[in-house]
Chain A
Amino acid sequence: MAIASQPGHLPARARTSTGARRILVNHLATAAAVGSTIIVVAPLVAIFAYLVYKGASSLNLAFFTQIPKPVGEAGGGMANSIIGSGVLLAIASAIGVPMGIASGIYVAEFGRGTRLSNMVRFTADVLNGVPSIVMGIAIYSLIVLPQKHFSALAGGVALGIMMIPTITRTTEEMLLMVPRSVREAALGLGVPNWRSVLSITLRTASPGVITGCMLAFARVAGETAPLLFTALGNQYWSTSINEPIAALPLQIFVYAISPYEEWHRLAWGAALVLIALIVLSVGLVRYVAGRGVLKGAS
């Protein structure tokens, strides 16, 4: 959108002294904008590079297959954290994905334009901005206190509830992109509404809906605060979802603030694994969106 970027484009009045001042201001503004971009981009790239460098040197086979060794001993890995994150995310997805998609279906297909769906949409957006630690407190109060123990279940529920608003919004957005003509074709055949929504509209929008779920998944995979007093963390393998469980982001926190070199090394490795997961998801989302989510729809 840079229309006036040709160097020759100078307004006629620029030949006056006030005009010269305006040109100077213009150049300063350009410099400031470019400058801010450099100030922002360069360090951010540096952060990335540092993370990759520090993390890569920590990753080895043991990282993915062993649990942490006792303090003072070298070696060990974060296998329990990786599996633990997997368990938590599975529980979270089982809660968040169906509820989120269903809410999105309601707002897009049934409540379109109604006050209720506007309120749902607004509330979902606002919920997305609530600090995740608050969610942790709520689930602690709801599940951990009555059960009198920390558990993977509590952690999974906290993460799952966090996924719902995000998935609701992305599902709605994707469903609204399905053209009216496709829905009319289904209705015109005498297909019941519920069947039309599920088998035609949702199916047509499914690439976009799935990437929306992936985005929510990636976001929740890196959350630490809600797990602090629900899943709690675990130095060993967990054997049931009613026990505390380790998770990658949780252990990064614990190890980072500890005084042990060995644990710092593990933290960097875990950070790299997390980053890799997120870059993969974001990249995949962009790829699918770029190919045309609704390829073939008229």
Chain B
Amino acid sequence: MGVSIEVSGLNAWYGSNHTLRDIQLHIPANHATALIGPSGCGKSTFVRCLNRMHETNPVGRVTGTVKIGQVDIYRDISPVEIRRRVGMVFQRPNPFPTMSIYDNVASGLRLNGYRNRKVLDEVVARSLHQAALWDEVKDELKKKSGASLSGGQQQRLCIARALAVDPEVMLMDEPASALDPVSTSKIEDLIFQLKSQYTIVIVTHNMQQAARVAENTGFFLNGRLVEFDSTHKIFTNPRDKRTEDYITGRFG
């Protein structure tokens, strides 16, 4: 089951560029939370702070506190360990090009030393079912390479791969922005199914998408969290004028 995320006093930098300023946020468990905002507002940087991927950039720096479950991820635990508990799906699908579909999904476990073939088979099957990809690939799991699938299928493969390690949180950075409308709606359905088991944070450019899948939405602007509330409230009666301007398309 998913856990909640507690963020306080989060600041992030890219070199001397102060990308995130004093973010304070509570993301509830087993819900989908959408993050919206114009390009460059820091929402992608924010999610990358939730699994400590921001610091993989040589000039990336973070201060503040992020608690996932009861764990302070910057003080109580190492980056490698937190990333096994917080899964990530990236903007462009990135399956491992030299691996088959089966190997891709199993990679999170195998590369961490898991060997039990029977359990791996079950996990791969379960993950592909959860990602709604099973029916399309079940006959070619080991023969087809991950990179030979279509864009939408690749992204669902990446979702299956992330789910296979049984994380507690799933981060999705504009997962459907590189995909066609049919694939996009498949992925949105997926998020809908998954959110009762995991805590999902989804960054999106698409406000209708946020409205469709997320219970809560946060609006980022210039590195600050301007407003965070239930999706319905944000889109019908936002408190902040800047939010309203963005929703109604006056900028961004």
Contact = CB atoms under 8 A, between A and B. Distances in A.
Q: Do A and B come from one complex?
A: yes
Nearest to B108: A189
Interface residues of B, number: 31
A286 interface: no
B96 A184 contact: no
Contacts of B51: 188
A190 B95 contact: no
Contacts of A190: 80-85, 108, 112, 165
Contacts of A192: 80, 112
B53 A188 contact: yes
A199 B53 contact: no
Contacts of B161: 185, 189
Contact of B111 (A184, A195, A204, A295): A195
Interface in A166-182: 179, 181-182
A296 B51 CA distance: 28
Nearest to B111: A191
Interface in B104-150: 107-108, 111-112, 145, 147-148
Contacts of B93: 298
B108 A187 contact: no
Contact of A184 (B53, B107, B112, B148): B53
Contacts of A297: 97, 147
Nearest to A182: B94
B29 interface: no
Interface string A274-298: 0000000000000000000011111
B92 A182 contact: no
A61 to B, nearest CB: 42
Contacts of A113: 58
Contacts of B53: 184, 187-188
B87 interface: yes
Interface residues of A, number: 26
A189 B162 contact: yes
Given A182-B94, A195-B111, A296-B97, A189 B148 contact: no
A174 to B, nearest CB: 13
Nearest to B81: A190
Nearest to A112: B58
Contact of A188 (B83, B92, B145, B148): B83
A225 interface: no
B111 A185 contact: no
Nearest to A188: B88
B56 interface: yes
Contacts of B112: 190-192, 195
Contacts of B111: 186, 189, 191, 195-196, 199-200
Of the listed residues B95, B111, B148, B165, the one surrounded by the most CB atoms of chain A closer than 10 A to its CB is B111
A296 B147 contact: yes
Contacts of A206: 98
B159 interface: no
B90 interface: yes
Given A188-B83, A190-B84, A190-B165, A182 B56 contact: no
A27 interface: no
A203 interface: yes
B58 A185 contact: no
B89 to A, nearest CB: 8
B35 interface: no
B49 interface: no
A203 B96 CA distance: 10
B158 interface: yes
Contact of B94 (A193, A196, A294, A298): A298
B95 A189 contact: no
Nearest to B95: A185
A192 to B, nearest CB: 5
A130 to B, nearest CB: 33
Given A204-B97, A296-B147, A298-B97, A189 B90 contact: no
A182 B165 contact: no
B165 A189 contact: yes
A217 to B, nearest CB: 23
A269 to B, nearest CB: 41
Q: Which 10 A-B pairs have the closest CB atoms?
A: A190-B84, A190-B83, A296-B147, A296-B97, A181-B94, A189-B108, A297-B97, A188-B88, A185-B94, A191-B111
Interface of B: 51, 53, 56, 58, 80-85, 87-88, 90, 92-98, 107-108, 111-112, 145, 147-148, 158, 161-162, 165
Given A187-B53, A189-B165, A296-B148, 17 more contacts: A179-B94, A181-B92, A185-B94, A185-B161, A186-B96, A186-B111, A187-B56, A188-B88, A189-B83, A189-B111, A189-B162, A193-B80, A195-B112, A196-B111, A204-B97, A297-B147, A298-B93
18 contacts: A182-B96, A185-B90, A186-B111, A188-B51, A188-B83, A189-B165, A190-B80, A190-B81, A190-B82, A190-B108, A191-B80, A192-B80, A192-B112, A193-B80, A204-B97, A296-B148, A297-B97, A298-B97
